[in-house]
A and B are shown apart, each in its own frame.
Chain A
Amino acid sequence: MINVDLPQRPDREALLAFWASASLLIGLLLGAAAILAGVTSAAGSLLLGTGAAGLAFLAGRSRDRTLDQAYKRWSKATRAYADWARKTVTGIWYWTVFTAVGQTGGGGLELVNSPWRSRGTLPDRAYGDPGGSTTGRDAVGGIRDFTGWAVRSGRAWTLVLLPMLAILRALDTRASKSSAPDIYTLY
């Protein structure tokens, strides 16, 4: 998985971290290419790679403006990639899983008759659970909570969402999220 980090305002530290990573990647690729091409030995390629990474890093450090522009391009590209990936991933799951569940009559809302319904108050032992369980268990976090909730709530079909949720979590796109002004956010 690629963890895409999208800082809004790159500061000096972020720029240097970015360029250090980029320099290391340049060195690694150059060293690997040298070995594959049979140009040098393993020790030589290590030296070549390290040297190239070091030079790249120093060259970048001495030209802040170029570094800044490179960073912005990289940031823009990763943002675009993350947005595209998010739409693709959510699209695939939505058009397959949710459309299928909707078509088969699963899920859905009760849109008619909304008188006052009887309800109970949460039992004192039920506060530990992030779902509706009243068994007295505490949240343990992550997949185990999700799985437990899916099974207990009779929504086992939602387990097929786990791969999508894992991918979306890796594609950290919150920095590019904007809220719609025309609608009450339901989520």
Chain B
Amino acid sequence: MSTYVLGISAFFHDSAAALLRDGEIVAAAQEERFTRKKQDPDFPARAVEYCLEAAGIGPEELDVVAFYEKPFVKFERLLDTFSGNAPSGFPMFREALPEWAERKLDLPRVIRTALGDGFRGRIVFAEHHESHAASAFFPSPYEEAAILTLDAVGEWSTSAIGHGRGSRLELTQEQRFPHSLGMLYSAFTYYTGFKVNSGEYKLMGLAPYGRPLYRDKILENVAEVGDDGALELDMSYFSYLEGVAMTSERFHDLFGGPPRPPESAIGQKEMDLASSIQAVCEEVVLQAADHVHGLTGSKRLVMAGGVALNCVANGRLLREGPFEEIWVQPAAGDAGGALGAALLAWHHMMGEPREVSPRDAQGGSLLGPAYDNESIGLFLDAIGARHHRMDDESELVDRVAEILDSDKVVGWFQGRMEYGPRALGARSIIGDPRSPEMQRTMNLKIKYRESFRPFAPCVLREHVSEVFCTEPDQDWPYMLFVADVQKHLHRTLTDEERVRMEDPDLRIRVSVPRSELPAITHVDYSARVQTVDRERHGRFHRLMERFHERTGCPVVVNTSFNIRGEPIVCSPDDAFRCFMATDMDCLVLENHVLLKEEQPVGLTVDADAYRSQFTLD
């Protein structure tokens, strides 16, 4: 009889559930994908339902439910923050306490109520950073590794380091709230006019446009960084302890004015600030990595926590840092805590051994729901959509490669949905990276967002080093590292293009092709690489092979299948609505191919109405 452990992260950011059967990851998904509410923090009822369904069990068969943090320890931190900032901390107190009274201080009741009377198992509580650490180490392909977790805050810890070996991990050092690299980065996210806790990746994307002019100012005034990556913030520059905003008047005075209003024009100052905080972030990560390397002597590092999604820092750490290999949990944010908590319960609490998988145990992070051709066909017939069922896969990939080659944009919906914030070829919008117009088309007509960021490339793993400055056969299946485009693919800019590169409007700058693959090349020639291999990616790999055979290009543009503010699509229904509300040309739902031009007028979705459902991130 199998043992089932369910991990849950909830009530903070981006709730999720993950299920283990005898220690093996059966399923994992974020609640936002089902409820269609971006970063839904509510109890992940739908994600739990999916996980149980995927395993073919009911709640009565669950042995353990593991929550990803210790609620009362976090409550201690809050109480100390409230009392330490009284009387100015009332706004946060007023918002926070009802949530704690209603749910967070009585999680066993909440969990048992949600799972129903059938559940008779044990409820346990891991620690936030231990959950992150477990999510990074246990699924990694390493028998032994150093561990580094970096985020904004969990209970008290804001970062932690340690070591894992076999089925045990140990965190030996930590830094504590309010001194936090994640909070520092979020403060600059807020100050530069992006939304906190979702706009951090935009700041990272903005950084190559600027120069790190404010780096010294940050390190001399706002944050003191030790040689070992220990970070000490001067809290007079921040106001997040009072719960009003991230930064204080003193911060605004130091950097020359109030925060940029959201959605207003981005100026050179914001670009330079982005470049500066990115530089500081990279330095802290490198120093912390050096520190943990010195303590453990390990050649391999595993990472998790929201800061570990900073793929520019990850790329630099791999190039310049002391570790030979690095593995980052693809669901590095709080959603991944669900998986980490379950794995901790399995290996630590239950004492079960671990079998190291040479490729990793994350399964390409394709752990969400899949839909069969029959149900998709019935759905399409029911709504009256015109579709071509192509059961011959060779014919299908041939057709889609041809569509991509004609500068068209394809919604690609195949197999199990991704667990984590990145679309990795299961719920992706794909296009031809050689097209100079592709970036603009995808950004403005499909994603409905600012266009200063290039898209990520998917590259056939066997060709990765031909296109990017990586090791031959580099295995980066989770889009968590940045590498430069190979020099021979760079374009020499004309005089006119050089002038355009100085334009204050970033949309002008980004439209200047930097390489033979303009849609995926950033202004500094970098790209956020995902390798695609035969074993993990199946049909997606075969499609890319066909595209390569046809065009000589082993790369496609890959962006998440959603519009701005929308969670990545989960079901064929979500995908079809997104397809009809945007200028996508083709939708491939498993074996069903839909062309936009063939769809009945009555099925058109009003783009404005569709967009209005989602809050801009």
Q: Which residues of A contact B (CB under 8 A)?
A: 86-87, 90-91, 94-95, 98-99, 101-103, 106-122, 124, 127-132, 138-142, 145-146, 149, 153, 155, 158, 164-169, 171-174, 177, 180-187
Contact = CB atoms under 8 A, between A and B. Distances in A.
Given A86-B94, A116-B175, A138-B122, A99 B87 contact: yes
B573 interface: no
B93 A168 contact: no
B534 interface: no
B173 A118 contact: yes
A187 B12 CA distance: 7
A159 to B, nearest CB: 12
B14 to A, nearest CB: 11
Interface in B553-590: none
Contacts of A153: 72, 76
Contacts of B173: 116-119
Contact of B72 (A117, A141, A149, A184): A149
Interface residues of B, number: 91
B106 A184 contact: no
Contact of B78 (A118, A149, A187): A187
Find the residue from B75, B186, B228, B235 having the highest chain A CB count within 10 A: B75
A91 B105 CA distance: 20
Given A128-B125, A181-B196, A187-B99, A98 B82 contact: yes
Interface stretch (B236-244, B444-452, B538-546): B236-244
A131 B162 CA distance: 22
B108 A90 contact: no
B10 to A, nearest CB: 13
Of all A-B residue pairs in the complex, the 10 with the closest CB atoms, nearest first, are A107-B83, A108-B84, A131-B72, A102-B86, A168-B101, A114-B179, A127-B124, A187-B96, A116-B173, A165-B101
B108 A155 contact: no
A25 B611 CA distance: 44
Nearest to A158: B79
Given A119-B171, A132-B72, A183 B87 contact: no
A98 B85 CA distance: 9
Nearest to B259: A182
Contacts of B157: 119
Contact of A115 (B71, B160, B228): B228
Given A114-B232, A119-B160, A174-B103, 19 more contacts: A94-B87, A107-B83, A109-B177, A111-B178, A114-B230, A115-B175, A116-B173, A116-B175, A117-B173, A119-B171, A122-B130, A127-B66, A130-B108, A131-B71, A138-B123, A139-B123, A155-B79, A182-B196, A184-B183
A94 B125 CA distance: 29
Contact of A102 (B12, B75, B83, B246): B83
B125 A145 contact: no
A177 B95 contact: yes
Contacts of B83: 98, 101-102, 106-108
A139 B79 contact: no
B101 A130 contact: no
B70 interface: yes
Contacts, number: 225
Nearest to A110: B176
Contacts of B18: none
Contact of B86 (A98, A117, A182, A187): A98
Contacts of B108: 130, 139-141, 145
Interface centre among B107, B126, B179 (most CB of A within 10 A): B179
Contacts of A114: 175-176, 179, 230-233
Interface stretch (B138-146, B345-353, B380-388, B602-610): B345-353
Contact of A107 (B66, B82, B107, B226): B82
Given A117-B174, A187-B92, A164 B125 contact: no
Contacts of A128: 122-125
A95 B228 CA distance: 41
Contacts of B169: 121
Contact of B245 (A101, A167, A182): A182
B508 interface: no
A141 B25 CA distance: 29
A94 B82 contact: yes
B98 interface: yes
A177 B99 contact: yes
Given A140-B108, A180-B95, A186-B153, A94 B80 contact: no
Contacts of B70: 129-132
B106 A142 contact: yes
Given A101-B86, A174-B102, A115 B94 contact: no
Interface string B324-362: 000000000000000000001100110100000000000
A125 B13 CA distance: 28
A102 B87 CA distance: 8
B119 interface: no
B54 to A, nearest CB: 25
Nearest to A172: B102
B228 A186 contact: no
A94 B81 CA distance: 12
A115 B124 CA distance: 30
A48 B351 CA distance: 68
B104 to A, nearest CB: 8
With a 10 A CB-CB cut-off, give which of A121, A165, A168 has the most chain B CB atoms. Answer: A121
Contacts of A120: 170-172
Interface in B208-266: 226, 228, 230-233, 235, 240-241, 243-246, 262
Contact of A183 (B162, B244, B291, B348): B244
B76 A155 contact: yes
A94 B90 CA distance: 7
B98 A168 contact: yes
16 contacts: A98-B93, A102-B82, A107-B84, A113-B232, A118-B173, A122-B126, A122-B130, A127-B124, A128-B123, A129-B70, A155-B76, A167-B101, A181-B195, A186-B78, A186-B243, A187-B92
Contacts of A130: 67, 70-72, 107-108, 125
A120 B173 CA distance: 8
A101 B90 CA distance: 14
